[in-house]
Chain A
Amino acid sequence: MFKRDEAVRPQTTTPPGAQPPSVPASTTGRPTERDRVNLGKSVIIKGELSGSEDLTIEGTVEGKIELRQHVLTIGPNGKIKAQVVAKAVIVQGEVHGNITATEKVDLRESASVDGDVVAPRVAISEGAHFRGSIDMQKAGVKPGDTKPASPDMKPAGAPEPTATR
């Protein structure tokens, strides 16, 4: 799992009352609360949405969403009619459109997706609705690189098993 919440939790090594060091998030390389953006339920965006920070959408977006280096979360109220490209996509709401992620797509229980998903890893919770195709092409896997068949498997066209027919 992403453990994103842990990653964004502020460091608590500073004693109470002391001023935290004012180091910009960009210099630490770790996302902070300021690096996460929420689009609320009432927000409607039509067009192209891109950015360089994690984003949570609870509103409506039509068009294209591109967060190539970041995590996109489509909240339970989110309604997306768009092509989505991100590092990781977590879906709790509705998506009509194709989703491409360089790391992972996670369809939660309340998710409804109509479109094609391309990602090295795809997790689908029970109860999620999905219609479309799932392409989990892993890096370095070539056609024919499938796991070997079990010993009891036989080539297609081989004689029938001895079970009742």
Chain B
Amino acid sequence: MSVFSWAQKPAPEATGPSTGAVDEVEATSKVFPRFLSAVAQQALETRPVILELGPVVGANVEFFSDRLACKLYIENLYLDLEEAARLGTRAGLAEAFLRRLALAGDMFDGILCWDLFDFIDAKTGKTLAGELARLLKPGGAVYGFFGTTPIELCRYTRYVIESESRFRLQHSPATPVKRNVLLTRDITKMFEGLSVSESVLLKSSTRETLFRR
């Protein structure tokens, strides 16, 4: 199975709000090991601090604790995403994100975005990217995916880390939304203040990206 092949095909049964995992797929990553390495090197003298923008996953908490002995903050922006999609209030999504991320600046060594930017429009994306740059310590890293096919997204994915280069993907239904496809130059422009350190286009047309501040 090609890596991240899930990204190309929406689940036909996925129509309602996220209620739980419906199926699982495994995927390998080329860039995630670089993220771990970057965070570890970033915090040689102090304990790393990581911000997770997805749901809490027990296995991931254990992984980060064992691997990086880090402090992990969980701010699940997908909750705001789903609520806004369901209520038709996507215009207010940027404000909801800002409220949720009202944390001190220069606080994190690493931020996990997963595929969050696929679900939000360019304006909201710009606001969020700016906020992530503010939260990140100089030298810190942001890890995320960007789909390159303009499909309707009908499901969310929980990324369960199995090893430094392998994830188990658990899908759950989402209120459908058209993917916001970003070209490489759009990504660079959106993440002003951060630089693209690694960018790998996978066979599944998903761009796995690592940013550094």
Contacts and interface: CB of A to CB of B under 8 A. Distances in A.
Interface centre among B48, B66, B69 (most CB of A within 10 A): B69
Select the residue from A122, A125, A141 with max chain B CB neighbours within 10 A.
A122
Which one of A136, A145, A146, A150 has the highest number of Cβ atoms from chain B below 10 Å of its Cβ? A146
Contacts of A145: 69
B33 A152 contact: yes
Nearest to A141: B69
**What band does the interface of chain A fall in when counting residues whose beta carbon is under 8 Å from B?**
35 or more
Contacts of B121: none
B34 A153 contact: yes
Counting chain B CB atoms within 10 Å of each CB, the highest count among A126, A127, A141 belongs to: A126
B27 interface: no
Interface in A106-158: 107, 122-138, 141, 143-147, 149-150, 152-157
A114 to B, nearest CB: 10
Nearest to B103: A133
Interface of B: 20-21, 30, 33-34, 36-38, 40-48, 56-58, 61-62, 65-69, 71-76, 139, 141, 164-165, 197-201, 212
28 contacts: A122-B61, A122-B65, A124-B61, A131-B74, A133-B71, A134-B72, A135-B72, A136-B69, A137-B69, A138-B65, A141-B69, A143-B43, A143-B44, A146-B48, A146-B67, A147-B67, A149-B36, A149-B40, A153-B34, A156-B34, A156-B38, A156-B42, A156-B212, A160-B198, A161-B200, A163-B30, A164-B201, A165-B200
Given A134-B61, A135-B71, A141-B69, A128 B56 contact: yes
What is the predominant secondary structure among interface residues of chain B facing chain A?
mixed
